[in-house]
Structure 1
């Protein structure tokens, strides 16, 4: 074979190898874009009411941030107040809708709420508080507060307040949702969702990598205060493409998980087999909150989610921000009830 032919064959082979490498590299990018463009189904609104129309009197601005469904009632926390709201009647004011006030002085900025069926206590999540260590730059750590609701259902008592040993760089990009469960040994464990992608803020937090931390409770000793040790960092499916994450909820009864996004006005629903070892990377379905006729977002501030049934969720909304469009105020500080449409990835567990 002549030198010219040898050079031609080598060039052809190198070109082919190069093209294959490019295709292999581009394939996941193209796939992600296709999933991003996929037509999502929209949640069906069943009912919604402003929180001011549900509770006895206006105690605050009702900046709702978390919700759970317990014993036929919804318990709601707020990032601007230390009391909880208990709502049994979802449509109008009722004597059954009330407040539960703190007996002690407690910092607010609550971003999540969960229930422990073993102790019967509730757990409040604070997003990130300044934590200064000697000779080190300031860091921000979330805090989990355990409370016990008094028998009169009008007040609660602080049981314990413990830091989550995970450092955040900024105060406003910490943890947003909490789910408490017990391990095989009975030890309290928590799933905690980061607000920013990869648990970061700014540009670094917009890479499309939602994260759930697993943390184990460590009791106080003579040498140290109580704390929550982060033992695992799990990535949510890349196809979510959420810009932020405002809450998570797990239903043991219905074996389902939900993660909501405020910026994207959407919710991810997935089936789960093992509550104590959730596979956060598994397939699920993404649903949009209702849009305007021009496909504009107006559920701009969804902050908390809880399952009422396998195919029905309760959602609470925070106060609209000044920089947001006026239409966002129409759906802020509300309780919303939505039905989840059938979907091939989750329909088998509909009840």
Structure 2
């Protein structure tokens, strides 16, 4: 990967310092792509995203789509993407149900009985790896099972959770596809799989092995599906707490695209030491050179945009830079204060909020 030349008197900052002289996409051969907030919002496409992904695929980049949604079949996800203008097969979709089934297949012999607590995607994933699916409503549900794979199922009943609790109490292996607390719907937030996982955890006084984002197994399954070296595989997502954290846990480079729910200030609001490799405003920036952040005398610059932290807060001079490049400089300046753990008298979370407005009305392309 070619880094941008350092300017005289400037030093490269750790986070957000990497850059490319050519298009960012040329640094990688594989892409693990999140869906909601990156490719689509609800049923409709994120503007321009399908076009970018189509071009990347035609230029030889291998792409898989990774989702924490365990209820849908990979074919259903592929059909949704096809409706947005992408050419995608079920084999190019990796779900947390598949990651969970793969996890169980490593510790159980073929043909082991597994209670499929969730939607159709959970049962299908177990069948794919040669495990015997036990439905909560089946006549043999009270017979001994070796494991429980729990994913979101919109049709699950109280009796289904009672059956799962019985087997977990008797020592069945327990894998949860994901622990998302909420599920975004058109009217707002509904309980996600994590809410139901906690219900069972409180009941049986034990915790499951979770495989979905922000944990590493889903990303590892995606890399295995791609067949690309991890160091040449890029994970793209819009959420810091799932997509970016999961990529970091799996040892992958990550690109945080600001087309979803998390705005720039979120990086400071929930900072836990996890920093994305790259920050872009839209997927189109994967096709462009990426300007690194440089530091000199407490001033952080990116493509001519400047930012520094003073006693009055974050001072920004856009100069000739695009809004996303100013955002990178501002984030780097604030991260520098936080990571140095030096008292500054500056509320970095509040200071970061001014970066959110820089991207309003700007596609970043």
Name the TM-score, length of structure 1 as normaliser.
Answer: 0.25
More strand per residue: 1
Question: Using CA pairs below 8 Å that are at least 6 residues apart, which structure has the higher relative contact order?
Answer: 2
More helix per residue: 2
Name the TM-score, length of structure 2 as normaliser.
Answer: 0.25
